[in-house]
Structure 1
């Protein structure tokens, strides 16, 4: 595995101070030179061998801290990408504050959906990443024309609703996310919105996702008897293209994250009988290498992907 290091940056987002800042953690393939500068500062330079690196922006679920995804982000970065996660404390709903990727609720209503991103924060993060590419230690190490958007839970939902509005995005992936929309926004019960994507998509979900199941009433459905919203998104919401659905039997909503029992809604989750992190990070790395790096070896391995922990569907 490549050496992976991280650094921190900030992006100014919508909202009133102090709720207008996203704090970014940027993981990148690094090289240890053994210099005094490394010893005194803790900063390592990027590995120049495969630079510039495609950029992966990953959005967290609501009230899920970015360090919950450290292991997942490290695995992806080690396969040849710069991975950006973030923490952003801002308004949620009804005046509450919490960690959120930021949702433009008006953009998700029937009279506006599809006209603009539901997550304008993505643009602010991409602008901040462009700033990073101009300063040390990552100067010139980022390929801003090859970008993937990923997310977990609500973070994955807004990525699916927003990706096509950012021209550099060439791949999208999500875990435990769908495009079913809340009835409170004016939609009919059970509505699955068309994903706003023009690129290949990888969706992942566990069979024990208690959080999605426990949210059924938001969408006007009965949680005891409903089709899986992630499978519905895969079948109904995606345009024609090379898309993948990865179902991990026994995995739950936090299958790729380290759940914090003091926050978010992990208390709703089903039992995590399978650790989805290893198989899904491997699959995601292959998917990104194929789509962003155009690697023949990754395409071949992806075409014959065989992992007993994953049920893979293609369309």
Structure 2
């Protein structure tokens, strides 16, 4: 396993008003300690150049879920040879509130605009900022080979936007769907077609209480509606010759991708209890996600993904 270190960076968000116009990034990378005085004095280790340039994976958070909640996954991916990026952007939420946002442009999700542009301004701003990064990873990033991982609303915006970013070659999302709120002018129960032209790994837990707790947003009744994640897989995602996969994790809940769960923010109070060890869920999720990214960002064989999908912590697998 490689050593992992991280550095910080920032991205200006075009069109956002100060002081809510900056995303603060943390960039995790494979490192090679040299024992130098510079390391001792600065705490910054050089990146391991052996596998450079490194594919880049940007992790897009759920609403009011801080980037530290995904640090475990960023470290795991960096240990496997990726540069993984998390970020916090405190910006506009719904109803005039401010909070941590994956970046949501509601106007771009209305019927007269959907499909014409990305619904998130944060992802292109972050990719642009990474092109100018200084420090240990400067010149070592393969920004033509990018993966996006989204959780909850973060997953929604990347599913709605990925095709507008040509460098994105793979999308993974957990606890998310492309159903759209009736307040934006859509009929009840609408599932929007995903704006992706690359393979998608759509992941979910069996015990997701948060998605069920939001049914009224979409004009639906929890008791009678069909699972929106499965509907997204069936109705929103393009055929990809078996490369698009839905994975359901046994006993996991909406925050199965998060560690630790912050009970003071976001909507964890709506979630159902997890019925399996969350650490086991995270281990299986990391193996599946890394294997999926290896195929589509590095050209690896599908054997590792097939092996990862044999985990006893996986309750269901579908492909298209």
TM-score (norm 2): 0.95
Q: Which runs of 5+ in 1 are unaligned?
A: none
Q: Provide the C-alpha distance between the structure 2 equivalents of 1:184 and 1:136, rounded to a whole number of angstroms.
A: 45
Map of 1:263 onto structure 2: 265
Q: Which runs of 5+ in 2 are unaligned?
A: none
Q: Provide the C-alpha distance between the structure 2 equivalents of 1:230 and 1:277, rounded to a whole number of angstroms.
A: 19
Q: Provide the C-alpha distance between the structure 2 equivalents of 1:71 and 1:303, rounded to a whole number of angstroms.
A: 23
Q: Provide the C-alpha distance between the structure 2 equivalents of 1:178 and 1:73, rounded to a whole number of angstroms.
A: 23
Alignment of 1:1-315 (within 5 A): 1-13=1-13, 14-132=15-133, 135-241=134-240, 242-257=243-258, 258-274=260-276, 275=278, 276-296=281-301, 299-304=302-307, 305-310=309-314, 311-315=316-320
Map Cα deviations across residues 64-96 of structure 1 (whole Å, 9 max, x no partner).
Answer: 000011111111121111111110011101211
Q: Provide the C-alpha distance between the structure 2 equivalents of 1:34 and 1:225, rounded to a whole number of angstroms.
A: 62
Q: Provide the C-alpha distance between the structure 1 equivalents of 2:293 and 2:180, rounded to a whole number of angstroms.
A: 27
Which aligned segments of 4 or more residues in structure 1 are displaced greater than 4 angstroms? none
TM-score (norm 1): 0.97
Map Cα deviations across residues 236-286 of structure 1 (whole Å, 9 max, x no partner).
Answer: 101110201010121000001021000000000010122221101110000
Map Cα deviations across residues 89-116 of structure 1 (whole Å, 9 max, x no partner).
Answer: 1110121111002211111001110000
Q: Is the 2:59–2:70 Cα contact (8 Å) retained in structure 1? A: no
3-state SS of 1:136 partner: coil
Map Cα deviations across residues 43-69 of structure 1 (whole Å, 9 max, x no partner).
Answer: 011111111100011110000000011
Q: Is the 2:28–2:75 Cα contact (8 Å) retained in structure 1? A: yes
**Root-mean-square deviation (Å):** 1.0
Question: 1:39 offset after TM fit, Å?
Answer: 1.0
3-state SS of 1:131 partner: coil
Q: Provide the C-alpha distance between the structure 1 equivalents of 2:233 and 2:3, rounded to a whole number of angstroms.
A: 35
Question: 1:303 offset after TM fit, Å?
Answer: 3.3
Q: Provide the C-alpha distance between the structure 2 equivalents of 1:204 and 1:177, rounded to a whole number of angstroms.
A: 8
Q: Provide the C-alpha distance between the structure 1 equivalents of 2:218 and 2:164, rounded to a whole number of angstroms.
A: 25
Map Cα deviations across residues 152-182 of structure 1 (whole Å, 9 max, x no partner).
Answer: 0000100000000001010000110110000
3-state SS of 1:37 partner: helix
Q: Provide the C-alpha distance between the structure 1 equivalents of 2:195 and 2:163, rounded to a whole number of angstroms.
A: 5
3-state SS of 2:7 partner: strand
Q: Is the 2:205–2:253 Cα contact (8 Å) retained in structure 1? A: yes
3-state SS of 1:270 partner: coil
Question: 1:136 offset after TM fit, Å?
Answer: 2.1
